[in-house]
Every structure is written in C-alpha cells, then in structure tokens.
Chain A
Amino acid sequence: MEQFAEKRIIDSRGRPCPGPVTDLSKAYRVAKLGDVLEVWATDPAAKNEIQTWAKHSGNDILEIADEKNYARIVVQVTKKRT
C-alpha cells in the first residue's frame, strides 16, 4: 500500500560543513519517493552543497529561501538509490 508523502524538517543550524549534507543524506535514506525534506542551515556553503547533492543524487530542489538567520533549502525525493 502506498503511503502518503511526508514533510520533514532537518535542523542543521549551527552545524558546520559537511553537517547539512550528511544530515540530509541520513534523512534521505529513510525517506520515501515523494517525501519533502526541508533543511535549515547556517553554514555559508550549505545552499551550494545541497544543490550539488541534489544534482548528484538526482533529486529536486523545490525552494531555496533566506530566512532571517539561516537558509532554508527544500528538497523533494524524486529518486531513490537502489
């Protein structure tokens, strides 16, 4: 039975590189196709890093936004590693 897509927030604020990407990758491992993973990060490289990760893993970036003190990068799981 197909489960509904979920949204998860990954709070990597304060975590230096490669924290945001490793946190995202851990969440991705247990995520299902269609799930939305939203990363919150303060590391200045995080936006680029997560875009690179998404490109490399074949997943989609839905949104990149600058909040007051952190960046919010929203990724949708469109490909699962087999």
Chain B
Amino acid sequence: MAQTTTLKKEAAGVRVHKLSIILSKGTLDMAYPAFMLASAAAAMGTEVHVFFTFWGLSVINKKKESKLKVAPVGNPALSVPNILGVIPGMTAMTTSMMRGKIKGMKLRAIPELIHDAHEMGVHIHACSTTMDMMGVRQEDLIPEVDDIVGAATFLQLSEDGQTIFV
C-alpha cells in the first residue's frame, strides 16, 4: 500500500523527502533495519525522524542500548526451535551469534550507528507516554535524543512524508 502511494507520488513528480520511523521494538533485529534505513535516508538528503516508543525506548536508553538482544522465541526464522528457545541461556546464545556476525561484517554497533545517524541529521524523538509508563527519566536517555514528544507532535512531524512502523 505504502509503496504504491510512493510510486504514484514519484510518477506525479513529487519526491518523497521525509521519512519517519516508529520504532516500537527493543531487539537487535528491529533496531538495525530501522537505523540502516534512517542513515541511508539521511545520506540521500531526506529529512528523517525516528520515534522511539514502547520497547523501542530501550534502544535510546543509556543502560540498555549496548545490551539489546535477539530472542529465539516467536522468531521461526532463527534456527533454534521455539520449544527450545525458552530454555535459559538461549536468548543469550542467539544474541552472541548475531553479535558475532555483525562484528564480522564490519557493521557498526547500535550506539555508534545512532550517534552517526544523529550527526547526519536524523532526529531522535522519545515517546513521553512510554517514559512515564516505564519510569524512564530524561537523564536515562542517550544525549543524541532531540526531544521528548507526544503522539500529536510526531504525527505533525511526519505529515506529508513516508512513515514506517517497526
């Protein structure tokens, strides 16, 4: 659906020049695609906004951003059978496997990726309701966070652009 709209817009000569990403998950396999898209878009000269809500807030939490994991449970694409995924230590195992691959590929770690994206102009917004719900204070967030916003502000920021929910 979204793609058709974009194609139509491009055909009409309107260039999509704003990208907004809502990151609601706090796992490695969600944070990476979101930030790769964000930095690629920034490199293209696109205005980029990332809104961190629910578990996505962990990605910009000082204490948690370097400790993101990838869980085998509920993720049938991983080679670990779901029934075994619940065994203690399985999440740590899949996480370290993925971290190893990431390192081997010369991919940047999440904190560096966020820092870089921010330097390239990617705007980082924290969701106020989530902060309240999870008892996260402003000082718990990484310094790259531009502001703490609500849903209405984000909707206004993302207006007339492309929005992706992760």
Chain A interfacial positions (CB closer than 8 Å to B):
14-19, 21-22, 24-26, 49, 52-53, 56-57, 81
A-B contact count (CB 8 A): 38
B120 touching A25, Cβ below 8 Å? yes
Q: Are B40 and A16 in contact (CB under 8 A)?
A: no
The residue that B106 contacts in the complex, of A15, A21, A57, A81, with Cβ under 8 A, is A15
- Residues of chain B within 8 A (CB-CB) of A19 are 106
Q: How far is the CA of A14 from the CA of B108 in the complex (A)?
A: 12
Which of the four size classes fits the interface of chain B?
A: 10 to 19
Q: How far is the CA of A57 from the CA of B43 in the complex (A)?
A: 9
* Leading 4 A-B pairs by shortest Cβ distance: A25-B43, A18-B40, A21-B43, A22-B43
Find A57's partner among B36, B44, B120 (CB 8 Å cutoff).
B44
Complex: A18 Cα to B117 Cα, angstroms: 11
| B residues in contact with A17, CB < 8 Å | 36, 40
* Chain A residue nearest to B38 in the complex (CB): A18
**Residues of B with C-beta under 8 A to A24:** 43
Contacts of A21 in B (CB 8 A): 40, 43-44
Cα separation A49 to B36 with both chains bound (whole Å): 13
Once A18-B39, A22-B116 are accepted as A-B contacts, the answer to whether A56 and B107 lie under 8 Å apart by CB is no
Find out whether the CB atom of B43 lies under 8 angstroms from the CB atom of A18: yes
A1–B107 alpha-carbon span in the complex (Å): 41
B105 within 8 Å of A by Cβ?
A: yes
Nearest opposing residue in chain A for B106, CB measure: A14
Is the CB of B19 closer than 8 A to any CB of chain A? no
